[in-house]
Amino acid sequence: AQSVTQLGSHVSVSEGALVLLRCNYSSSVPPYLFWYVQYPNQGLQLLLKYTTGATLVKGINGFEAEFKKSETSFHLTKPSAHMSDAAEYFCAVSAVNTGFQKLVFGTGTRLLVSP
Amino acid sequence: NAGVTQTPKFRVLKTGQSMTLLCAQDMNHEYMYWYRQDPGMGLRLIHYSVGEGTTAKGEVPDGYNVSRLKKQNFLLGLESAAPSQTSVYFCASNQGFQETQYFGPGTRLLVL
């Protein structure tokens, strides 16, 4: 079975500061890992994903994440926060061998950006 | 190209009433999914479909039924709504195992 833990339901940063959103996963098989962003009253939009290959994954809007198997982590970072980054972020895991993409989501982290 | 659309956007039901949520996608995707989102719990999979005419149970299927009679549509039904089904419902679709799931804008359901 797969599970995801997102540390911190809320993270506050100042505009221009580093953004770090933490995600740890549990999976009995090689995982596919995803970060989604949800803006208020909207659906989820994919930021980035890791399937195979390079462990440092770059996504949209300047975000990136690194898959660290030894730490079972997939933390999301952005060097400099922008006001428009304020949203809720979800980490998700999918098992490689399920035959379709069954996503298991974390509980989400709300990013607050102050001027 | 509208992507994934959901109807209705918002609905209020009384306990015991029934309703159907419609999800439509115009990307010719094989796989479709229904999730519910509750505060502090992330998204949980209700039912999914791996192709036209197929459906399967997800993590929280009780109280819901689904149908996929046409490839582009995935219907979620509540036969007898309960307050515990107050939630935001999202539909998603994708083409293949490694492919991105595209989400609809959501349906906000309030059961009184």
Between chains, do A45 and B103 touch, taking CB under 8 Å as contact?
A: yes
CB atoms inside a 10 Å sphere around CB B48: 25
pLDDT tens sequence across B8-21: 999 999 999 999 99
Between chains, do A102 and B104 touch, taking CB under 8 Å as contact?
A: no
Interface test with A, best of B74, B100, B101 (most A CBs within 10 A): B101
Both tokens of residue A81?
A: 């926060």
User: What's residue B40's pLDDT?
Assistant: 83
SS3 labels along chain A: CCEEEEECCEEEEECCCCEEEEEEEECCCCEEEEEEEECCCCCEEEEEEECCCCCEEECHHHCEEEEECCCCEEEEEECCCCHHHCEEEEEEEEECCCCCCCEEECCCEEEEEEC
pLDDT tens sequence across A22-56: 999 998 888 899 999 999 888 899 999 998 888 99
Q: Tell me, yes or no, if A9 comes closer than 8 A to chain B by beta carbon.
A: yes
Q: Closest to A101 (Cβ–Cβ): which among B40, B97, B103?
A: B97
Q: What is the mean pLDDT of chain A?
A: 92
User: What's residue A28's pLDDT?
Assistant: 80
Between chains, do A43 and B100 touch, taking CB under 8 Å as contact?
A: no
Residue percentage of chain A with pLDDT more than 70: 97
What is the block-wise mean pLDDT of chain B (112 residues), using blocks of 10 residues? 90 97 96 93 92 93 96 96 96 86 94 97
User: What's residue B110's pLDDT?
Assistant: 97
Between chains, do B105 and A42 touch, taking CB under 8 Å as contact?
A: yes
Q: How far is CA B101 from CA A73, B32, B86, B92, B110, in A?
A: 22, 9, 24, 6, 26
- CB contacts, 8 Å: A45 with chain B: 103
Between chains, do B40 and A49 touch, taking CB under 8 Å as contact?
A: no
Q: Dihedrals φ, ψ of B97, to 5°?
A: -60, -40
- CB contacts, 8 Å: A32 with chain B: 98
Per-residue pLDDT band for A100 (boundaries 50, 70, 90) equals: confident
- State mean pLDDT over A104-111: 94
Q: Residue A20: which residues within 8 A CB-CB, separation 6 or more?
A: A11, A75, A76, A77
CB atoms inside a 10 Å sphere around CB B31: 22
Between chains, do A46 and B100 touch, taking CB under 8 Å as contact?
A: yes
- State mean pLDDT over A76-82: 97
Q: Tell me, yes or no, if A25 comes closer than 8 A to chain B by beta carbon.
A: no
- State mean pLDDT over A15-23: 97
Between chains, do B45 and A42 touch, taking CB under 8 Å as contact?
A: no
- Cα-only R_g, chain B: 13
User: What's residue B1's pLDDT?
Assistant: 65
- CB contacts, 8 Å: A7 with chain B: none
Per-residue pLDDT band for A101 (boundaries 50, 70, 90) equals: confident
CB A111 within 8 A of CB A58: no
Q: Tell me, yes or no, if B101 comes closer than 8 A to chain A by beta carbon.
A: yes
pLDDT tens sequence across A82-98: 999 999 999 999 876 66
